[in-house]
Amino acid sequence: MLDRQNVIKDLISSNNSKIVMLVMDGIGDIPNEQGVTPLQKANTPNLDFLATKSDLGQTIPVLPGITPGSGPGHLGIFGYDPLKYQIGRGILEALGSDVEVGEKDVVARGNFATIDGNIILDRRAGRPATEESAKVVELLNEKIKQIDDVKITFYPGKEHRFVVKLTGEGLGDKLEDADPQKEGKPIKYTTALEPGSEKTAIIVNKLLDKIKEVLKDNPKMNFALLRGFSKYPDLPQFGNVFKLKAAAIAVYPMYRGLAKLVGMNVVTTGQTVEDEFNTVKEIWNEFDFFYIHVKKTDSYGEDGNFENKVKVIEEVDRALPILLELKPDVLIITGDHSTPCLMKGHSFHPVPLMISAKYTRRGLSKTFDEFECVRGTLGTIYAVDIMPLALAYSGRLKKYGA
């Protein structure tokens, strides 16, 4: 298999250009009963005007027909082949929450959930406030400190999310997710996928039973789903591969964690899209690559909330002039995967992509939406090819061969 990173690394020529990658998580969608997607429904004069001056296309996050998780989806757009580099969601959530992860640790991402008996009623426990779920995490830390010879530590996250860390000897991370992924299904325990992870599976299943006992009287957060079991992986660092000094502006821990994992500088920011864009403005002279993550497009897609997904897109559009006034040499707007409201989850559908730069084949597209992207000048490409294009549009790639 072609190693894109090695090919690209030898061609890079540094300059003073600025690249902005705006990731609207789960932005891709499919038409609703009225025949429109949230991108089509939203009032987006800034995005649409930008489309008239940009190259549009669509990306395949992993392979055609494959539904990606957020980890593989982001690795692809960061220029890492998601088939070569496979990372558990737990390590991303852990690093984003500033959890120290050592050689003897296995971490997992947790969702508080609502159950009735052994049936999952709500995988996100009604999306409780972060402050509310933090109290439940505190209770778990009081009641569950160790299972057999393994230390257990819980860390709060955003809303229904948390991180659990298992510390001990002989722990592997090759486990099935302890999450049925759908409401209405029974509790799912984990199993080891490879030799060396059997001990971890036993500990995790005992942990699930203890969590169920401790939280049995909580009206909504009365169970937990665990997934993305992982130890600390070894990845090539973004700055070394692409010769860019990169900043990450993200609110949610998992995406800060992923940025840390590839070597980006994670910058503190506020909670709104406008806050994030203003943070880019504040650090503009310190970096030459800016990754900005907007989460709520994905959250509302998973909730099946069409109107609120529209509102988040419109919020991005209203704030977009903050970025445009900075005059980045390359502005990439895309997502890590599609999250159609009708499907209430990640999907295999290609993801809209727009690249604004000086040397684009502009003039074909009129608006920024899924169907304009299908007919755009970039065509359909793999997400892993976005970074080579970003470098090319910014004048950072030399000619290949004689």
The pLDDT tens digits of the residues spanning 229-276 come to 999 888 899 999 999 999 999 998 889 988 988 999 999 999 999 999
Regions in the chain scoring below 70 on pLDDT = 1-2
Query: What's the pLDDT score for residue 211?
Result: 97
Model pTM score: 0.79
Q: Do domains 14-86+235-393 and 92-230 have the same CATH topology?
A: no
Write the secondary structure of the chain as one string of H (helix), E (strand) and C (coil). Answer: CCCHHHHHHCCECCCCCCEEEEEECCEECCCCCCCCCHHHHCCCHHHHHHHHCCEEEEEECCCCCCCCCHHHHHHHHCCCCCCCCCCCHHHHHHHHCCCCCCCCEEEEEEEEEEEECCEEEECCCCCCCHHHHHHHHHHHHHHCCEECCEEEEEEECCCCEEEEEEECCCCCCCECCECCCCCCCECCCCCECCCCCHHHHHHHHHHHHHHHHHCCCCCCCCEEEEEEEECCCCCCCHHHHHCCCEEEECCCHHHHHHHHHCCCEECCCCCCHHHHHHHHHHCCCCCCEEEEEECHHHHHHHHCCHHHHHHHHHHHHHHHHHHHCCCCCEEEEECCCECCCCCCCCECCCEEEEEEECCCCCCCCCCCCHHHHHCCCCEEEEHHHHHHHHHHHCCCECCCCC
Beta-carbon contacts of residue 337 (< 8 Å; ≥ 6 apart) = 25, 26, 28, 61, 67, 68, 69, 70, 73, 346, 347, 351
CATH 3.40.50.300 for domain 14-86+235-393, yes or no, is: no
Cα(395)–Cα(13) distance, integer angstroms: 8
Query: What's the pLDDT score for residue 1?
Result: 46
Query: What's the pLDDT score for residue 2?
Result: 60
Cβ atoms within 10 Å of 181's Cβ, excluding its own: 12
For the chain, give every domain's residue range: 14-86+235-393, 92-230
Query: What's the pLDDT score for residue 120?
Result: 96
Q: Which fold has domain 92-230?
A: Alpha-Beta Plaits (3.30.70)
